[in-house]
Amino acid sequence: MPRFGPIKRKDFIRHLRKMGFLGPYSGGKHQFMNKGDITIRVPNPHQSNIGKGLLARILKQAGIERDIWERL
C-alpha cells in the first residue's frame, strides 16, 4: 500500500499502471500517462521525490481518491 506522502517517481508510475494508466509517453517538457479520456503529466525524472502536495494535485486530476490510492 502506498502511503499518501512523498513517493519515488518509479513507484508512482508503477502504482498508476496498476490503476489502468498507460505510459509514460514523451510529450513536450513532461512525460504523460493516460487512461481513456484522462491524461496526466508525470514529473520529470531528474527531480527528487514527488511531494505530498504535488501528489494530491495529480491524483485529483486523475480522479483518484486518497483512500483508493492508499488501498493499492
The pLDDT tens digits for 17-71 are 999 999 999 988 889 999 999 999 998 887 688 999 999 999 999 999 999 898 8
Residue 46 counted as domain residue = yes
* Cβ partners under 8 Å of residue 4, min gap 6: 52, 55, 56, 66, 69, 70
Q: What is the CATH number of the domain that holds 48?
A: 3.30.920.30
Count structural domains, the chain. 1
Is 49 within a domain? Answer: yes
Q: Does 56 reside within a domain?
A: yes
Could you tell me the residue range of the domain that residue 26 belongs to?
9-70
Q: What is the pTM of this model?
A: 0.87
